[in-house]
Amino acid sequence: MERTTVLQEIRKMRFEETWNEWKKGRLTQEEAGRSLGMSERSFRRYVRRVEEEGIQGILDKRLTQASARRAPVDEALALVEKYRSRHDGWNVKHFHSWYRREGGRRSYTWVKKTLQENGAVTKAPGKGQHRKKRERAPWEGMLIHQDASRHAWVPGQLWDLVVTMDDATNEHYSMFFVAEEGTASSFQGMREVIETKGLPSALSTDRGSHSWITPEAGGKVDKKNLTQFGRAMKTLGVGMIPAYSPEARGRSERAFRTHQERLPKELALFGITRMEEANRSLNTVYRPAFNAEFVHPAPEEGSAFVPWTGESLNEVLCEHFERTVGHDNCIQFEGRTLQIPPDRYRFHDVRTTVRIHRSPGGSLSLFYGPRKLVSFSVEELQSLHHKKNSRSTQSSSGIRPVEALM
C-alpha cells in the first residue's frame, strides 16, 4: 500500500474517533480541534463536510483526482518509445538534454519519473557517505585541469580523450582524441587554451611521466628537474600543481564519468568510428552542447587569464634539446645528420651549442641563442632517414658508396 493511502486512512480514523467524542459531548470543538492539530474553525469546516458528503469528505481530493496540467498518456508513451528506440542505455540527464534540444518542454523530474514508472530506466543507488566539497577557484583562469581518459569511445578501439577545463566554471576549453596521451597532446591542449583565452595562473595535472619526473614510484614529484612540458610551463609563467589522488582530480574525474556515459552513445548515434571524424564532432557538436549544459558562472566576477604577448607559441610549446656542432658544421640527432648551412654573418658554428626545437608535428628547427639557423620539415627528415637506410644497405651488401670510389 502506498504511503499516501496509509496516511489518508490514519487521518480518517483519528477524525472519526474525535468526532464521535465531540458528538457525545465529551469534547468541545476547541478541544477536538486541538487534539487533531487544527483550529476550532477548521474542525467546524470538517464537520460540515462530513455531514454533507460523509466521512469521505475529509479526504484530500488532490490525491485521487488527476491534475488538469498532467501530461497526456500518449505523450508519456511516445517519450518512452523514443528512449527505447534511439537512446536505450542513456542516463536520464543525458537523454533529457537531447529531449530539450529537440523541442521537448517537460522538466527533468517528469522525464525521469515517466521513464522509471514504465521500466525504461532503474533508480540510481544511493550516493554513499557525505563528503565536504572542495570550493571552486573564485575566478576563471585561476586554476585549470588537464587530464586524459583511456576508454573504448568507439567499439573495438581504445583512444585517449584529452580534456583541459576550468576549475571555476567547468568550461571545457579543449577536447580531442589521440592514440596515446603524451607531451605532444599536453602542448596541444595548452595551445588551444592560450590562443582562445590567454595564460592561466596555474595548471593541475596528474603525475604522468610527460608532466612530472617522479624519482620514486608513488612518491613526490621532482619540481627541480623538469620535463619538456614542465619547462614550457615555466617559460610561460604557468604554475604547475601535481595531483596525488583521484580526489585532487575530482572535477575532471566527474567530467570523464559524464563523457564516458555520453560520448560513445553520441558517436554511435552519428555512426562515427574514425578518430578524425570523432574530433570534428567533438568541436562542432559535443563540446558546445556540453558547455551550454554544464558551464556555470564563476563564484566571483573577473578573470585571471593574461594575454600572451611573448615570442611565438610554436617555439615555446615544443620539445627543446641541445647539441654541440661538429667540425663539419653538422649535428647528430636521433640517428640523423643535420647540416647547418653557411651564414654570411658567421664564418662557422663549429663547437658551439645549438638548441633544437621539435614541434608536436615532428618538424625541427635549430637555434643559436634567439636566432634560427635552419628548419627541417617532416618530409625532409624522412628523406634524410631514407638516405641513411639506403647507405646502410649498400654497405652491408658489400657495395661501396659512390663517394668512396672517387
- The label of the residue with cell 578573470 reads 303
Report the pLDDT value the prediction gives residue 406, as an integer from 0 to 100. Answer: 30
**In the prediction, which pLDDT does 389 show?**
60
According to DSSP, residue 401 is labeled: P
Q: Concatenated DSSP letters for 332-382?
A: EETTEEEEPPPBTTBS--TT-EEEEEE-TTS-EEEEETTEEEEEE-HHHHH
Asked whether the predicted pLDDT for residue 402 surpasses 50, the reply is no
pLDDT band, residue 383 (cuts 50/70/90): confident
The model's pTM is: 0.68
- Alpha helices (H) along 220-359: 228-236, 250-269, 275-281, 287-294
Find residue 148's DSSP bridge partners: 162
Instruction: Look at residue 8 and tell me whether its pLDDT is greater than 80.
Output: no
pLDDT band at 187 (very low <50, low <70, confident <90, very high): very high
Give tens-digit pLDDT for 95-112. 999 999 999 989 999 999
Q: What integer is the mean pLDDT of 283-288?
A: 94
Amino acid 142: pLDDT: 94
Q: CA nearest 376: which of 361, 359, 367, 364?
A: 364
Would you say residue 379 has pLDDT above 70?
Answer: yes
Residue with cell 533529457: 96
Nearest to 255 by CA among 276, 225, 213, 286: 286
Among 50-59, 174-183, 276-285, whose mean pLDDT is lowest? 50-59
Strands (E), 37-187: 144-154, 157-166, 172-178
Structure confidence at residue 387 (pLDDT): 60
Mean pLDDT, rounded, of the chain = 86
> Which of 6, 4, 18, 10 has its CA nearest to residue 46?
18
Q: What is the reported pLDDT for 398? A: 44
In the chain, domain spans:
3-63, 73-117, 144-294, 318-396
The strand pair at 330-333 and 319-324 is best described as unpaired
pLDDT digits (tens, 9 = 90+) for 139-153: 999 999 999 999 999
pLDDT higher than 90, residue 115? yes
Lowest mean pLDDT among 167-176, 210-219, 338-347, 382-391: 382-391
CATH entry 3.30.420.10 includes domain 144-294: yes
Name the DSSP class of 292: H
Contact 81, 61 (CB under 8 A): no
H or E element in which residue 195 lies:
helix 183-196
| Residue 395: per-residue pLDDT | 47
CA distance to 166, 217, 312, 342, per residue, from 370 (Å): 33, 38, 12, 17
